[in-house]
Amino acid sequence: MNLEALNKIAVKMVEPGTGILAADESTGTIGKRFASINTENNEDNRRAWREMLFRTQPAMQDHISGVILFDETLRQSAEDGTSFVKLIQDAGAIPGIKVDKGITPLAGRPGETITQGLDGLRERLAEYYELGARFAKWRAVIEISHPDIKVGRTPTNGGIKANNHALGRYAALCQEAGIVPIVEPEILMGGHHSVERCHEVTERVLNSLFTELYEQGVALEGIVLKPNMVVAGKQCAEQPTREEIATRTIKVLKDTVPSAVPGIAFLSGGQENEEATRNLDMMNKIGGFPWKLTYSFGRALQQSALFAWQGKAENYDAAQKAFNHRARMNGLASTGDWSAAIDDEVDA
């Protein structure tokens, strides 16, 4: 393991003013996104959509530090024959790759899942490195059960440990291959749970995670953490203010995340575009933590551009304008300089 090289990549991934574009949707997931704009899910449309994003300036150069790709996308080229990897590198960003193979029910733990993909991962990472990937992503999914459930509540300690053990093994294999692991334990925000319950579970998950990373020999200077923000479930009647979200999230991170970690790139978790941006901004306005706090957003960066594009070549410029705007807003949020007034502007 070349820790100096890994650390250099990790630091670049969380550079102030920039964040990570999650463009790693599986074929099925991007099909759902395309269905929302009545666009056929075929390889040509997937290539056209992602090429549009990767060619968007100044977003890619100024506000995107890295791009998480799907296996298909890592191997694809733009219409003129330029590989997507080169397109991303030429913009000054780092190509990355999603390496997990999705979730499956966890045996013996009803209502919980485990992420698959460790089998053959060493060999896949070696190939991905040769193709140009310098960081990777593995997503573990943690779900909080309904507050009314008293028996069989999730997550269980066993479920948390199983998912974090897999994250630790994945991260160690990445570092062995010269690839920075994004470590993503996502607590889903779609439920009925309160912000207090999310706080409690997030703390348990992150404490367990860093124990597993230590036990698997993972060097913390060469990772990026991608956690959820501490929010109430979308179905909860009482929603916290952005100040409470920011304060609780910072407290959990301070209580669990070692300062050796170069940075934390939050997932948006289904939050609306501006909601994810303003919560990140509030954390950076509060400050007082040792890591860089930035974004690793998919939908919160892409959704407005997708709706502007509508699968039509004539909407290319409008889609790029929308992507430029959201990238700029999140770049400002990563330094605590975002405001609602700025977000209301139409970028030139």
CB-based contacts of 195, cutoff 8 Å, min separation 6: 230, 231, 232, 236, 238, 239, 240, 244, 245, 248
Question: Quick one: CA dihedral 246, 247, 248, 252, positive or negative?
Answer: positive
Distances (CA, A) of 292 to 125, 194, 320, 331: 27, 27, 27, 12
pLDDT per residue as tens digits for the range 264-323: 999 998 888 899 999 999 999 999 999 999 999 999 999 999 999 999 999 999 999 999
Nearest Cα residue to 134 out of 167, 100, 175 = 175
Query: Rounded distance, CA 79 to CA 267, Å?
Result: 30
Q: Would you name the residues annotated as active-site residues?
A: 184, 226
Please write the tens of the pLDDT for every residue from 105-127. 999 999 999 999 999 999 999 99
Confidence of residue 346 (pLDDT cuts 50, 70, 90): low
Specify the DSSP element, H or E, that contains 127: helix 121-131
* Domain 3-343: homologous superfamily in CATH: Aldolase class I (3.20.20.70)
Residue 155 CA to residue 333 CA, distance in Å, equals 31
pTM of the model: 0.96
Check pLDDT > 60 for residue 347: no
Percent of the chain whose pLDDT exceeds 70: 99
Tens of pLDDT, residue by residue over 57-105, are: 999 999 999 999 999 999 999 999 999 999 999 999 999 999 999 999 9
**Two tokens, residue 170:** 């994945």
Q: Return the residue matching tokens 């400002």.
A: 332
Q: Domain boundaries in the chain?
A: 3-343
Residues 10-33, mean pLDDT to the nearest whole number: 96
Planar angle of CA 287, 292, 296, nearest 5 degrees = 115
pLDDT at position 225, please? 98
Instruction: Answer for the pair 117, 73: CB distance below 8 angstroms, yes or no.
Output: no
Segment 333-345 mean pLDDT: 90
Question: Can you tell me the mean pLDDT for 180-201?
Answer: 97
DSSP class of residue 77 equals B
Residue 343 has pLDDT above 90, yes or no: no
Six-digit token pair at 23?
A: 């463009």
pLDDT band for position 345 (cuts 50, 70, 90): low
Give the single-character DSSP code of 151. Answer: S
Question: What is the average pLDDT across 160-165?
Answer: 98
In contact, 180 and 10? CB cutoff 8 Å: yes
Q: Where are the beta strands (DSSP E) in the chain?
A: 19-23, 64-69, 94-98, 103-105, 113-115, 135-142, 180-187, 224-225, 263-266, 292-297
Are 124 and 71 in contact, with CB atoms under 8 Å apart? no
Instruction: Please write the tens of the pLDDT for every residue from 191-212.
Output: 999 999 999 999 999 999 999 9
Query: If 0-12 CB within 10 Å is exposed, 13-18 middle and 19+ buried, where does residue 117 land?
Result: middle
- Quick one: pLDDT at residue 348? 41
pLDDT digits (tens, 9 = 90+) for 269-281: 888 889 999 999 9
